[in-house]
Every structure is written in structure tokens, then in C-alpha cells.
Amino acid sequence: MLITSTRGIFAAGDVTNVPEKQIIIAAGEGAKDTLAAFRLTRHLNQASLRISLN
């Protein structure tokens, strides 16, 4: 949250112009995609196990 030029008004999220925000968003997207890949791998492994048991 950033202080604006108007007393008592703060800025956050998309209305800010903070260079570090892009890094944080990229890190969050990377973490989200890593979790999606993990879930997909786990799902494929479980499906493979079911096929081999049949």
C-alpha cells in the first residue's frame, strides 16, 4: 500500500506504479504454474497406476 498525494488516501494493487510489483506477480504466476504441473503429474501417475493394476 502506498501513500498518495491526498491525505488519508492510499493506493494498492493495479493503480500503483511500483517496479517491484512485476517481479512479485511473475513469482506468483511461476508458483501457480508449478503447482498446476505438480497436480497434473500426480494425476497422470495415479492414472498410470490404475491402468497397471488392471
> Is the pLDDT confidence value at 49 over 80?
no
What does the domain layout of the chain look like in residue ranges? 20-54
- The pLDDT tens digits of the residues spanning 20-37 come to 878 888 899 999 999 999
Give me the pLDDT at residue 42, please. Answer: 92
Q: What is the pTM of this model?
A: 0.56
Mean pLDDT of 38-52: 86
Q: How far apart are alpha carbons 26 and 13 in whole angstroms?
A: 14
Only one residue has cell 497406476, namely 49
> Is the pLDDT confidence value at 39 over 70?
yes
Which pLDDT band holds residue 48 (cuts at 50, 70, 90)?
confident
| Cβ(2)–Cβ(16) below 8 Å | yes
